[in-house]
Structure formats: C-alpha cells, structure tokens
Amino acid sequence: MTPKLNASDGAEVVTLGAGCFWCTEAVFQQLPGVLSVTSGYMGGHVPKPSYEQICGGETGHAEVTQIVFDPKQTTLVQLLDAFWKMHDPTTLNRQGNDVGTQYRSAIFYHSQTQRTAAEEAKRNAQSQFARPIVTEITKATEFYPAEHYHQDYYRQNKNRNPYCHIVITPKLKKMGLEYLC
C-alpha cells in the first residue's frame, strides 16, 4: 500500500532496505525534506506478512522504510547518499549482527526516473567501497506497513531498549544526527 500523496504538493515516495528498519527510520526521519517514514515490508511473496514471518526469512520480504519526501527540499540522490553512508551495501543479506534476506540492501523504485537515478547513484557510490556493492534495484511491489510497535521505534524506545544505544545511536552519531547518549 503506497501512502496517499497529494499530487498538487509534488511529494514523492521511495522505498529503501538497508538492514533493520528501526535504524534506517531513525536516520531518514531527521533528514531535511523528508515528510514521513514508515517501517514495513516489501519484495516478498506472502500477502500481509507479520514481523514473525519476516524474521523466519521464508517470505522473501525485506525490512524497508518507505519515505515520502518533498523534492523541492531534497532529492532522491541526496536520500541515496545518506542510504549509502548508513549501512554497508557490500554485504549480502547482512547488516552487522542482523543476518538474512530480510536485511538485504535494496532500492525499490516507484518510477523509471527513480530506477535510472538509483542505478547511476549505485555506480557513483562504488568508488567509496573496496568491495562490490550488492544492493538490488527492483521495481516496488506491494508495501506492507510493519506493526504499530515498530513505527517511530527509536523515539519511543531510546531509553528502554539496549539495541537503541548499541546499534541505532552510533549510526545517528556517524551521520551527524541527533541522538541520546
């Protein structure tokens, strides 16, 4: 399900997978021009999957963030620059201790223009990495928002969940974004 966009405002949507969606959501929420970020699932074959099904690795879905942005304030290329920096796009089906196809690096494009921009951004980003980038660039399919407790995860759990301090906070710090010590 793609978010309803008001065509008159010119907002765009892109869906990105870069490991755990708690981490990527926390980064994208703070970037200028980002209007909303929704954690969810895309790229699999099971309708309306649950988090438990995704964790089993059998649905084919990736954990993703669907980002609605104002192209007058930021561009897809700028969002992809952050995407390359926030995770390791050279590891196949893995980000840190998170292992499985659900943690794959993926750009799900919503238009041919986005596909072209993503392919060019991937070629340009390769010079930043010693190993080949394995990020898949795939046409967006059905988006399934994750369960409510996954939404806005860092803001709601930064003082309660050690994962926030061990994994998310250092990522925010690396990106030069607001975080809690």
Give the pLDDT confidence of 17-74 residue by residue, as tens digits: 999 999 899 999 999 999 999 999 999 999 999 999 999 989 999 999 999 999 999 9
Region of 77 on the Ramachandran plot (φ > 0 left; ψ -120 to 50 alpha; else beta): alpha
Q: Residue 120: what pLDDT?
A: 98
pLDDT at position 85: 94
Indicate if 164 belongs to the active site.
no
pLDDT of residue 165: 79
Domains and CATH numbers, the chain: 7-174 (3.30.1060.10)
Residue-wise pLDDT tens digits, 83-105: 999 999 999 999 888 899 999 99
pLDDT, tens digit (0-9, with 9 covering 90-100), for 104-134: 999 999 999 999 999 999 999 999 999 999 9
Sort 49 into a burial class: Cβ within 10 Å, 0-12 / 13-18 / 19+.
buried
pTM of the model: 0.91
End-to-end C-alpha distance for the chain, whole angstroms = 36
Marked catalytic residue, from 20, 23, 55, 181: 20
pLDDT at 7 over 50: no
Average pLDDT, the chain: 91
